[in-house]
Structure 1
C-alpha cells in the first residue's frame, strides 16, 4: 500500500437497479447485473493503491434487493439525478487546482426528447446518463448539456480529470440487441414529458457552454453526442457509436463490465503511471477480442499517465491486436488504408517500450502475409531473447498492445528523377555545373530515406520519369513534374551555390515523393455489391445569402479566400456504419489529420452524413496555394495520424531524426528490399471491401484588403 495521496478524489457511480415503470410504448430500463460490482472493484483498487480516506471517494450505487420495487441502498446513497449533480458539485468544490479527479460510471445510457429545443431544434434528442429512478414520471436524466457543464467546471478549476464510461451511449447501437442481457443500453427514445429545469445551471448558461464547446471543437461531439470533444480531460468510453457495452462473468459467478475488468487488470499489472495511450492499446484490443461489437474509445488529453501525474508523449506506433500462437503470427492495427502492402515487415517491442531504438526491448520481427483495410496479420520470422525451435511463438512472448515499428513498407514507392542541364551551361562561381548530375547522385546516397528516389540512366525514356531537376537563369534549382511543369507550391528556391544546396534538394525530392504517395493513395476495387468503395461522397459547402452552395459540384475546383468558412459534408452512402477521417494536404506540402482531432474516426450511420465546419487558411508567406482535402471511410477505425507530414524543408520524423516518433515515419523512410525492386507511382489496393477514399482540391488565396 502506498502513502496516502492527498490530491486524489474519485466519483464512482454504478447502477444495477432501475425503478420499475413502463415508459410510453411500453419501454423501460431493465436492471443490470455487473455495474455495482464494477464500482466496488474500482473502489477497492483506489483504496489499496492510493490509501484514500473515505472523504476522498464519493460513491453512488443502486443494488437490486429481494424487493423488486426497492434497491438495497438508502435514498441519500442512490445515483438519482439530484444526488449525481450534488456529488459532482461537491467534488468540484472540494478539489483544488491540479488535484487528480477520477470519475467512473457504469450503467445505462439513453436518449430522450430534448428540453433544449431552442438550441437543438424541433424534434431533436438529448443524449443522457440514466439515473436509477428514471422510471418515475417526474424524474430527470443527466442530459448531455448538463454533463458537459459539470465537466467544464472541473476543467475550469484546473483539475486533472479522467473519465471512464462503461455503458452504451447510442440508441441506434441497441436496435439489434434482441434482448441480450449482457448489454448496457436500450434502443428506445424516451418521449415522456419531464421537468425542464436543471440543477446544474440555468438553461441559458448550459446552452452557451455547449455552443462554445462545440464551436471551439468545430461541432465535433463524441459518444454519440453525449459530450463535446474533450478538452482538458481524458475519456475512455466502453464502445463506439452503434456498438454495445457488454457484461461478462470473468471469475466465479460475478458479472463485470468488460471494459472495467480489463482496465483494472491492466492497472494492477502495470501500475498507475502507465501512459494512457499504452493502457488503451492494451485494453481496447482485449475488449474487442472478447466482443467483436465493442471497441473502446480514447479521447481527449492522452499525453499523460492514466492515474498518475506524469506528462508523457503518446506512443503513436501501431499496436498488436491479437496473438495467434498456432499459426505463429500476430494481428497489427494497420492496413491497406494506410498504404500497407503484403511483405511489409515490423519489429515488435515489449509492452510499454518508449524508445524504438532500444534493441534490448525488441521481441520479434514479423512479415505481413494477410492484409485488411485497417489491420493485417504478420508471421513471425525471427524472435529475440527467446530459446525456441524455428522461431515459434509460445504463450506470453508477445502481449496485446505491444508497439510495432515498420521496417519496410512492402513495396518501393520510388520516384525516378532526371537532371536536365541548360544549354549553354551557366557559369556559377565555386560550382562545377557540368558535374552536378554526378554530385547529386553521390549526395543522394548520404541522405536518409534516399531510396524513395532514384536517378535515371541516360537511356531511360522521359515518359518514365517522375521529376526533372534543372537550373534557371538565376542559378536556382527547379523541380519539375513529369509534364515538365514546376511542382506547385514551392515558394523558396534553392540556389546552387548555397551551403548544403544538394542535400536540401535531395530532401525536397524525398518529401515530395512521400507527399504524393499519400495524395495518390486509393482503392480501386469495386468488384462486389457490398463493397464500401465508391460509397463515400464529399462536398465542400459555402453559405451564400443563407443558402447552401456546393462548391465542388461537377468536379469544379473551389476558389476561396484565406480565413473563409466552409462546411465539409461527408456522406456515407453504404449500408453500414463507416468511420470517417480527413487529412488536409496543405500548400506547404505538409499533411495534417484535421478531422476528427482526437478519434481514430467519427462513426457515421448508413445513408447519413456528417458536417464539419472550419476556416481555410494559408501557410505563412503564401499568397496563393492549392490544398487537398482527402477523406477516408473505413469499416473499422484506424489511425490516420500515421500519414501526417511536416511542411516542406522541416525535419521529417523518421527521416531527419535518428529516432523516429511515428509509425509512418518508420514506414516511409524504411530501407526496402533491394533484391526485389518494385516501383508503383499510384498506390492502389487489390481487393479490399472495407475502405474507400475521396479527395477535393481547393485553391486558397490571400484576401485582398
Structure 2
C-alpha cells in the first residue's frame, strides 16, 4: 500500500516594484483576374527533391516590400517597405555560403517595389518573383512539409508587415470547439483578435495568414519530425509604441491600427485541417486572463521548433540603412552574428543580439529548443549568466577600472560591492581557460548595475558577454587540537577557489563556521546553527569550497525581496486548492471551474501545508494600471533553484496585463531520492514582479551533488 507522506511548503512573496505611469464597410473590389493568375505558384516545378540522408536542409524565405494599392479593406493602409527583400537576399546568401543547403531547396516568395515608370499590374505580371500571397505562403509550407522527411531541418524567415485583426477563429479561441461552418462576421469575432502576417495583395482581395493557420502549419512540420527554425522580422503593434521614441528608423514593419473588417474572402483554405489539428496543439502552461503576451506565437508550443521574433507584441520592428542598403534591424544583426561565429547556439544568438536590439528599442523574443546549434540538430546545454549590456566606445582598450553596464540589479539581489566573473557570450560551460575577467558592482539600480574591472582582461569583453556571480563570504575555521595541522591547507585551498571569494575571520562575526575534527569536516552558519538542508559528506578541502560556493548562491536567491515587507494591495498572490478531498488518482482538476477552489491558509509560522500528490493553484493577480512581468522561482530542499514559472525551456518571464490573472497548477511530489522515512519537505516559492523586461534564469542552480574532492 502506498504511503501518503505530508509536505510542508513555505510561500514567500517577493515583489520588486516601480511606479509607471470602427471602420465602415464598402463594396468589395476584386482584383484583376490576370494579375491573380500570374501570382499563383506551382511548387511542384521548383526543382527540389527529397534529400538522400537525414538532416537535409530546407528554407522558406518571404520578403514583402511592395503592398499592392487597393481599397478592399476600408480604413486600412499598408505602407510600402524598403528592406524586406534585401533581408531575404541577405539570408539566402548566408545559407548558400555557410551551410550545405541545396539552392533548389531554398523557396523564396518576394515582392519588390516596382520601378516608378512601371504600372502596378504590368510590373507584377511580368516579374520573375514568386509572389507572397496568402495562397502561395500556405502552399510553400505544405510543399516543404510534404517533400521533407523525418530529421530534416527547415529554416523560415519572414520580413514584412504584421498586424492585429478581427478574428475569424473566435469560436476556437474562446470555446475551444470546432471552427464555425458558417461565414464569420464582424460581430462573431466578439473582440477576439488574430495576429497575422500581411501578404502583398491584402488591399486588393488578399487574405491574411493568421496565427492559428501558421501554428497548424508548423504543427504539421513537427509531426513530420522536422526541426524548424522560424524568424519573424515584423511586429503587431496595434497602435502601441512603448519606449521606442527617439529611435532612428526609416520605416516600421507593422500596421498601426487594428483591422476590424471581415470580408467574404476572409476564410481559411485549410479550415478542415485546422479542426483536425487544433486540439493537438499544446497551449500555454497556465490558464490566463488579461495577459499581455511577449509574442503571439509563443502561445503555441510544439516540439523541435525554435522561434525568434524581432520585438514584443507591443513594440515596433524597424528597418534602416546599413552600409548603404536598407535592412531590417533585427535581420541585419542576426546575419552579422551568424557570419561572425560558427557553431553558435540559438542561446548564444539570443545573448549577443538582445542588448544590441534593446538599444534600437526592440526586445527580441525567443523560445523553443534554443540550446540547439543554428540550423543543426546537435544540442548544447545553456550556460546562463547576466548580460553585459554596455561597454566603453569601440576602440577604447579595457583595463583595470574600466566601467561597463550589467543587465542585473536590485531586483535580482545585486548590491554594491558584489563581484561577477565575465565569460564570452558563446560559452557553453565555464572553464578557467575562457574566463575574461572579474568586475565589481559600483552602483546597483532597479534592473541595471554599473560595474568596473578589477583585473586586466584576458580577452575581448563586449556587449553580450555573460556575467556569473562570485559570492563573497566570511569564514571562521575552528579545529580540535589534533586537527590544527589541516587549517593552513584548508585556507590555501579556499583562498584560490575560483567560484567564490572567501575571507577569514579569527575574532569577528562570520557567515560560516568550518569545523575540523578527527572524524572529518562540518559546515555551520556563523552563529553555530546547522544548515537547514542536508549536504553531501565532506572528504576534502575542495569539497568544502564547492559546498560553500553552492550554498552561498542559494542564500543569495533566498534573500531576494527580504527588504520588502508585505504585499501591495494592488497585487494579489494566493495559494488555492480544490475544496473537499480529491485523491491524487483523480487526476488534474479543471481549475477553470472557480467553484471548486478554496484558499489554503498558512499556519502561525507562515507555512502552507499540503499533502503529497495533491494539486494546488498559485493564483497571481495584477490590479495595477500597467503590465507586470511575472517569474516564480522554486528553492528546493536539495539546494536547487529553478524557475517554476514560466517553465517552458528558455522562456524568461510572462507578462500580465492590467486586471489580468495567472493560475499556475502545481502538483506536489516528494522526489524519489528522498529516504522512504521522509515525513516532510520544505520548498520555498519566490514570486517576482517587475515592470521592466528582465531575466532571472541566471539565478538557477542545480541540486547539490558530491563535491569534486
Aligned: 1:189 with 2:258:
yes
Aligned to 2:193: 125
1:404-553 aligned at under 5 Å gives the runs 404-406=467-469, 408-409=470-471, 412=472, 500=539, 514-522=553-561, 524=563, 536-542=571-577, 544=579, 546-547=594-595, 549=597, 551=599
Offset, 1:416: 8.3
Offset, 1:13: 0.8
**In the superposition, relative to structure 1, how do residues 218 and 626 fare at CA in structure 2: closer, same or farther (>3 Å)?**
farther
Aligned to 1:84: 137
Which residue among 397, 400, 425 is the counterpart of 2:463?
400
**Contact conserved, 2:616 with 2:665, CA < 8 A, in 1?**
yes
Q: 2:271, 2:476 → 1: CA distance?
A: 63
Aligned to 1:579: 629
Deviations 1:521-544 (A, max 9, x none): 116479xxxxx9886532334455
Offset, 1:263: 1.0
Aligned to 2:585: none
Offset, 1:72: 4.5
If the length of structure 2 is used for normalisation, what is the TM-score?
0.71
Q: 1:594, 1:520 → 2: CA distance?
A: 18
Offset, 1:88: 0.5
Higher mean C-alpha deviation, range 257-266 or range 236-245: 236-245
Deviations 1:391-413 (A, max 9, x none): xxxxxx5332233444x44xx45
Aligned: 1:268 with 2:339:
yes
**Contact conserved, 2:514 with 2:521, CA < 8 A, in 1?**
no
Aligned to 1:244: 316
Aligned to 2:349: 279
**In the superposition, relative to structure 1, how do residues 373 and 232 fare at CA in structure 2: closer, same or farther (>3 Å)?**
farther
Q: 2:624, 2:328 → 1: CA distance?
A: 32
**Contact conserved, 2:163 with 2:195, CA < 8 A, in 1?**
yes
Aligned to 1:701: none
Deviations 1:474-503 (A, max 9, x none): x9999799797x87665x9x9xxx884999
Aligned to 1:377: 450
User: SS where residue 537 of structure 1 aligns?
Assistant: strand
Aligned to 1:306: 374
**In the superposition, relative to structure 1, how do residues 369 and 249 fare at CA in structure 2: closer, same or farther (>3 Å)?**
same
Aligned to 1:28: 77
Which residue among 108, 128, 137 is the counterpart of 1:59?
108
User: SS where residue 296 of structure 2 aligns?
Assistant: coil
Aligned to 2:587: none
1:76-225 aligned at under 5 Å gives the runs 77-121=130-174, 123-136=191-204, 139-171=206-238, 173-174=240-241, 182-194=251-263, 195-199=266-270, 201-210=272-281, 212-214=282-284, 223-225=295-297
Q: 1:12, 1:595 → 2: CA distance?
A: 34
User: SS where residue 135 of structure 1 aligns?
Assistant: helix
Aligned: 1:328 with 2:376:
no
Aligned to 2:669: 617
**Contact conserved, 2:543 with 2:708, CA < 8 A, in 1?**
no
Q: 1:295, 1:309 → 2: CA distance?
A: 27
**In the superposition, relative to structure 1, how do residues 188 and 501 fare at CA in structure 2: closer, same or farther (>3 Å)?**
same
Q: 1:470, 1:48 → 2: CA distance?
A: 62
Higher mean C-alpha deviation, range 26-35 or range 512-521: 512-521
Aligned to 2:614: 564
Q: 1:104, 1:337 → 2: CA distance?
A: 35
1:677-688 aligned at under 5 Å gives the runs none
Which residue among 631, 638, 641 is the counterpart of 1:591?
641
Offset, 1:190: 2.5
**Contact conserved, 2:474 with 2:511, CA < 8 A, in 1?**
no
Offset, 1:150: 1.5
**In the superposition, relative to structure 1, how do residues 564 and 115 fare at CA in structure 2: closer, same or farther (>3 Å)?**
farther
Q: 2:527, 2:163 → 1: CA distance?
A: 57
Deviations 1:156-194 (A, max 9, x none): 222222211111135364478899862222243332225
Offset, 1:438: 7.3
Higher mean C-alpha deviation, range 627-636 or range 16-25: 16-25
Aligned to 1:682: none
Aligned to 1:688: none
Question: Relative contact order: is structure 1 or structure 2 higher (C-alpha 8 Å, sep ≥ 6)?
Answer: 2
Deviations 1:48-80 (A, max 9, x none): 333644421111112232468659545982222
User: SS where residue 158 of structure 1 aligns?
Assistant: coil
Q: 1:261, 1:83 → 2: CA distance?
A: 26
**In the superposition, relative to structure 1, how do residues 553 and 69 fare at CA in structure 2: closer, same or farther (>3 Å)?**
farther
Q: 1:417, 1:550 → 2: CA distance?
A: 50
User: SS where residue 90 of structure 2 aligns?
Assistant: helix
Aligned to 2:693: 637
User: SS where residue 307 of structure 2 aligns?
Assistant: strand
Deviations 1:83-116 (A, max 9, x none): 1111001111112222221110112222223333
**Contact conserved, 1:174 with 1:187, CA < 8 A, in 2?**
no
**Contact conserved, 1:468 with 1:482, CA < 8 A, in 2?**
no
Q: 1:558, 1:22 → 2: CA distance?
A: 61
If the length of structure 1 is used for normalisation, what is the TM-score?
0.72
**Contact conserved, 2:476 with 2:526, CA < 8 A, in 1?**
no
Deviations 1:372-409 (A, max 9, x none): 333322223433469xxxxxxxxxx5332233444x44
**Contact conserved, 1:128 with 1:226, CA < 8 A, in 2?**
no
**In the superposition, relative to structure 1, how do residues 16 and 541 fare at CA in structure 2: closer, same or farther (>3 Å)?**
farther
Which residue among 611, 619, 628 is the counterpart of 2:684?
628
**Contact conserved, 1:18 with 1:31, CA < 8 A, in 2?**
yes
Q: 2:404, 2:481 → 1: CA distance?
A: 50
**In the superposition, relative to structure 1, how do residues 64 and 477 fare at CA in structure 2: closer, same or farther (>3 Å)?**
closer
Offset, 1:9: 1.1
Aligned to 1:691: none
Q: Which runs of 5+ in 1 are unaligned?
A: 387-396, 420-433, 527-531, 659-705
Higher mean C-alpha deviation, range 539-548 or range 127-136: 539-548
**Contact conserved, 2:211 with 2:297, CA < 8 A, in 1?**
yes
User: SS where residue 306 of structure 2 aligns?
Assistant: strand
